[in-house]
Structure 1
Amino acid sequence: MTKVFNPWIDMDINSQRRVDKNLNYDFFWMLDIEGKYGFFIDSRNILEDDKTDISLKGISIKKVSIDTNISRLYLILNDNDDYEIFLTLCQDLINTANKYDNKQEIIVEIENRLKRWQHLLKNNNYSGLTIERQMGLFSELIFLKNKIASEVGITDAIISWVGPDFDKQDFSIESATIEVKSYKTTKGEIIYISSLQQLQSPKLPLYLVAYGLTISERGLSILDIIESIEKQISDEWILEQFKLKLFEYGYIEGVSTKNRLYKFLVDKESIYEVSEKFPKIEKNNISSQIISVKYGIELTECKEFEVEFDSIFQVGGVI
């Protein structure tokens, strides 16, 4: 892998440098008087007031008034060794702001992005994706690349991937909605449903795709799949959308790879039509006092609902 760009490496103590004069806001890299890496934004209106409830572990946030017309939002990294994740955060804010011409929209989006980062950095050090999250992301990416993209193309495949947007299912195409699950082959063909909505959709048919995985150095990691998908993308906006969805999933480019990425072999892939008789807990069949559920499904007992992968696209398969 290539060495990560470090915009602070050649800067002097207590200095600043504009990121890009063409951006909608005035963004600056900075090195403070203690030599700590920093980033700041100048604006007439950065946040709604002088106070903010945003708190990022490992990063100091401060808003100050420079004069009657300019306010400044500072982000200072507490430990320069963590610059890669800090740089990713800064670049994410820059990319977010650059999508908007309306300054008020930019303000709202910057706040939203910082709050999302607050969620990701709730521990002092971002510990990366758990093995379960890696299995989930791996399976969704494999399905996107090998199944959806092969039918509708990489652009529509990425648009159809709605799981990271916290949708009820993982993929939504014209002909169907699809929920993707994974399980460790050694633990048996059992998948877990984590909400009442996952196996319910107003848009039918609904399919459940399951991948049986084994951890193996002979397999592929999520990074391998991501790089393979990115090579197929020629549109800059689609690439940005793909990276944004990975970020929403919890995969941080240039940072998640610092922690262990497991490699997986796909032992089995199967698809089931979630028909009316498919075993599931439905909201209209339980007490209104029950607001959340988590349960397992033994797939070896669901053979009667198994269908071919081509069934998904029978109606047309166009986003």
Structure 2
Amino acid sequence: MLNLKLEYEQMINEMTNQSQQEVYNLRVLTAENSIIFAGVDTASMTRQLYIDLGFDSWETDQLKALPKWRGISIQIEYYEKLALLRGHYFLVLKQEVEHGTEIFEVILQNVVDHLLLKEQDESIFSVIYKVLDRWRVFFQKGGYRKLTEEQQRGLFGELWYIKDWLNRFPNSPPLIIEQWEGPTSGRIDFKHSKRGVEIKTAINKLNKTIKISNENQLRLTNAVTSIHLYVCFIEPSKSHGISLHSLVSEIRKKIAGRSDRILLKFNDLLEDLRFKEDDYTEDYYFVDKVEVYEATVNFPRILQEDLPKGISHVSYSIDLAHCTDFQREVDKVFDL
């Protein structure tokens, strides 16, 4: 994929070696489909992105409808004399001076990635709107945040399951990412057809308890007719095992060789979690073993109909030592 951060670094390095500088320094990123330029304001060193709209501009209401936040300005500019693109309109995303360059480059990278992989019948406006709206929500929630220890363990378990799946199906499209609903607050972490897989982590392998977050998590319905629990028994460490940072990098490499589109989906889901991987390099997890359980009708659980009226959002723990009748071979969860 195109590395926008590297493109900007090269542009700035070239500018420092030039005796005369223009007001804006531009570089063509792609000349196919959507023609895109990277731009740098030579005075402020702020980043810009120019997206070719062709000979027809957008309606004023379209421009106003685009999600915005402090740190970005969006406008349409007309270029009468721009080589082969004379008479074209461009959508221009500009970094405001007082806001951070690092996060702005990440946003522009996300915009470019989605434009390069957009469906043929999908409009530029639709792509830009969806990307900017996701980032608007990201900032509304406070931007990047450090996950709690419990959240880190939960994410580790979900990522471990993804890696396990990718290793078992090395020649298959990585559709497991399409089934990952954990980052978007889905009831079940992974869902395919009518089957669900819920990921749990347990630290103490002697005290085999897992936490269920609410009375609906293990509910069987017409939409979800079977649920399996994939339980990772892990041991936190400062020196052994694998960090979240390394696990994410490993998964990215495995996906990258199979599908750019799904790799982009994976990155978007991590952004939805407000996950900044550089914050997770020091803590490691060692996976002792994995066990699988099938949450059938008779599996010990609390359901909404078991609760007195007025009681809801009940979390509870299950001792897996008493669930041996429901234990299945690990392969079973991947046969689904």
TM-score (norm 1): 0.76
Match of 2:292 among 271, 277, 297: 271
Matched, 1:27 2:49: no
**Cα distance in 2 for residues equivalent to 1:196 and 1:73:** 48
Amino acid at match of 2:268: F
**Cα distance in 2 for residues equivalent to 1:153 and 1:29:** 36
- RMSD across aligned C-alpha pairs, in angstroms? 4.0
Match of 2:114 among 85, 88, 96: 96
SS of structure 2 residue aligned to 1:49:
helix
Aligned residue for 2:94? 75
Alpha carbons of structure 1 residues 21 and 242: separation in structure 2 relative to 1, 3 Å? closer
Matched, 1:182 2:201: yes
Q: Is the 1:29–1:38 contact (alpha carbons within 8 Å) kept by the matching residues of 2?
A: yes
Kindly state the Cα deviation for residue 91 of structure 1 after the two structures are TM-superposed: 1.7
Kindly state the Cα deviation for residue 142 of structure 1 after the two structures are TM-superposed: 1.3
Deviations along 1:73-101, one digit per CA (max 9) or x if unpaired, are 42315457x43432222121112112235
**Cα distance in 1 for residues equivalent to 2:52 and 2:119:** 16
- Structure 2: state its 5+ residue gaps: 16-20, 80-86
Matched, 1:117 2:135: yes
Match of 2:319 among 296, 299, 312: 299
Match of 1:208 among 212, 229, 245: 229
**Cα distance in 1 for residues equivalent to 2:170 and 2:191:** 14
Alpha carbons of structure 1 residues 191 and 14: separation in structure 2 relative to 1, 3 Å? farther
Match of 1:218 among 235, 240, 257: 240
Aligned residue for 1:241? 262
Alpha carbons of structure 1 residues 151 and 103: separation in structure 2 relative to 1, 3 Å? closer
Aligned residue for 2:172? 155
**Cα distance in 2 for residues equivalent to 1:60 and 1:263:** 37
Aligned residue for 2:75? 63
**Cα distance in 1 for residues equivalent to 2:171 and 2:317:** 31
Matched, 1:5 2:26: no
Aligned residue for 1:228? 250
**Cα distance in 2 for residues equivalent to 1:47 and 1:302:** 64
Kindly state the Cα deviation for residue 139 of structure 1 after the two structures are TM-superposed: 1.1
TM-score (norm 2): 0.73
SS of structure 2 residue aligned to 1:276:
coil
**Cα distance in 1 for residues equivalent to 2:236 and 2:139:** 27
Give the 5 Å matches for 1:104-143: 105-122=123-140, 126-143=144-161
Deviations along 1:136-166, one digit per CA (max 9) or x if unpaired, are 22211212223x3344336355436422465
Kindly state the Cα deviation for residue 111 of structure 1 after the two structures are TM-superposed: 1.0
Give the 5 Å matches for 1:32-47: 32=41, 33-43=43-53, 44-45=57-58
Amino acid at match of 2:150: E
Relative contact order, higher structure (CA 8 A, sep 6+): 1
Alpha carbons of structure 1 residues 221 and 154: separation in structure 2 relative to 1, 3 Å? farther
**Cα distance in 1 for residues equivalent to 2:66 and 2:304:** 35
Alpha carbons of structure 1 residues 104 and 18: separation in structure 2 relative to 1, 3 Å? farther
Aligned length in residues:
308
Q: Is the 1:56–1:122 contact (alpha carbons within 8 Å) kept by the matching residues of 2?
A: no
Alpha carbons of structure 1 residues 283 and 256: separation in structure 2 relative to 1, 3 Å? same
Alpha carbons of structure 1 residues 289 and 94: separation in structure 2 relative to 1, 3 Å? farther
SS of structure 2 residue aligned to 1:215:
strand
Kindly state the Cα deviation for residue 103 of structure 1 after the two structures are TM-superposed: 7.0
SS of structure 1 residue aligned to 2:123:
helix
SS of structure 1 residue aligned to 2:199:
strand
Alpha carbons of structure 1 residues 115 and 184: separation in structure 2 relative to 1, 3 Å? farther
Amino acid at match of 2:248: I
Alpha carbons of structure 1 residues 62 and 106: separation in structure 2 relative to 1, 3 Å? closer
Alpha carbons of structure 1 residues 52 and 173: separation in structure 2 relative to 1, 3 Å? closer
- Structure 1: state its 5+ residue gaps: none
Kindly state the Cα deviation for residue 195 of structure 1 after the two structures are TM-superposed: 5.2
Kindly state the Cα deviation for residue 107 of structure 1 after the two structures are TM-superposed: 1.4
SS of structure 2 residue aligned to 1:275:
coil
Kindly state the Cα deviation for residue 214 of structure 1 after the two structures are TM-superposed: 2.9
Q: Is the 1:154–1:232 contact (alpha carbons within 8 Å) kept by the matching residues of 2?
A: no
**Cα distance in 1 for residues equivalent to 2:247 and 2:142:** 28
Aligned residue for 1:51? 64
Aligned residue for 1:250? 271
Alpha carbons of structure 1 residues 14 and 155: separation in structure 2 relative to 1, 3 Å? farther
Kindly state the Cα deviation for residue 288 of structure 1 after the two structures are TM-superposed: 9.4
Match of 1:198 among 217, 227, 232: 217
**Cα distance in 2 for residues equivalent to 1:186 and 1:47:** 61
Alpha carbons of structure 1 residues 294 and 283: separation in structure 2 relative to 1, 3 Å? closer
